[in-house]
Structure 1
Amino acid sequence: MGMLQEFKTFAMRGNVIDLAVGVVIGGAFGKIVTSLVDQIVMPPIGWVTGGIDFSDLKWVLREADNSNPAHKIPEVAVQYGAFINTIIQFLIIAFAIFVVVKLINRVTRHKEAVAAPAADVVLLTEIRDLLKEQQGKS
């Protein structure tokens, strides 16, 4: 089998396509969460904390020097405010994924419980049928 044919077989598997769809949806979901954090969650938090915009918080290690236009020196800073925003985004995404997985597990368990009787129920049913069979022979 040629390499192209093997690749086609690999790429057309259901789980690879599902993974690709999940990555695309995850990327879009990440943008939604970023917007939620930056434009909805953080402004009220900034308002409560006295107008602080977390994305602007930083620890400046070296100030920018623009005195010489031919040789500009950029600012060097640790932007911990952006890091705080990213942590909040991560927590929201993690919680959303937790809720989705929990719901999927609940639906899956419910379907399994309805679809297949428990092993002890099957065993007891077989014993009952054997006892009825024995009584019918006597």
Structure 2
Amino acid sequence: MSGVSDSEKEAVLSATQAASKLWKDSFNSGNAAGCAAQYESTALMEAKPFGTFKGTEEIQGFWQKLIDDGFSEVEYVEATKLEVVSADSVVLSSNWKMNKAKGVITKELWVLQGDGTAKLREDHFEAQG
């Protein structure tokens, strides 16, 4: 990618991978607040067929309901792709599976924050059974 140095790519990829792991670890341990903490305060999450959720409070509520309904063991499988789109952002896409569902992540937009961590600004995914 032009205009983005190798060190910038490495920093934003490393931050994204660490934040994504934190999100998955939080979900798998039943910690909806930990999941929501990986989103920017004004993030947008489109979860098909469930709806659109804005901000960390609505997003946390969605994950809490899923956890309360017995969903766990999320993992990203097959076709996971990380694309550096700028010096401070990465788009992740992947297939995913859980104990009770599977689907596709069409776009997770991770953005580097001032403290060097990455947070989700946009999260678009679909459950497929």
TM-score, scaled relative to structure 2: 0.26
> Which one has the bigger helix percentage?
1
TM-score, scaled relative to structure 1: 0.25
Report the structure number with the largest CA radius of gyration: 1
